[in-house]
Amino acid sequence: MVNETPATIQYLNTDLDLCCPNDLRSLNEYFENCDLHSLHCEQSNNSHWTACFESDHDYFEPEQHIAAMLESIESAPPPVKHIWDLCTLREFNIGYDSGDKPWAFNQGLTNQTLNRLAGVGASLRITIYPPYPPKD
């Protein structure tokens, strides 16, 4: 049975997804010291490394969340920055729960944050999760 209660649209979090032909463990260790924890950091079957990071802090909009993660990236020491630069995927993935209310919902990123994001060679993705579980 589908839940009939209207769901509220809301920002969930932003993940930082990485893929690299080189070992990501040093970058993982650096991020752990910057209040970013990894959901995973591992070598995949094709020998590439993949990792996904989230902040240890709660944010209500992606602007502040991404800005905090960018601060860690921009201030990384040269050996860590080198690993970052070798990544073939550097993607900020903004997640939202969808829903029936409010009637209109919006959040944005300033041009300063977008410039910083582009400056570190990162991409942006948006993921919207459905308000109800799939029907069986």
pLDDT (tens digit per residue) in 15-71? 999 999 999 999 999 999 998 999 999 998 778 999 999 998 999 999 999 999 999
DSSP alpha helix (H) spans, the chain: 25-32, 62-74, 78-86, 111-119
pTM score, whole prediction: 0.90
Q: Taking the domains of the chain in order of start, what are their residue ranges?
A: 10-129
Look at residues 3, 2, 8 and name the one whose alpha carbon lies nearest to residue 104: 8
| Cα–Cα dist 64/13, whole Å | 11
Can you say whether residue 35 is alpha, beta or left, with left for phi > 0 and alpha for psi between -120 and 50 degrees?
left
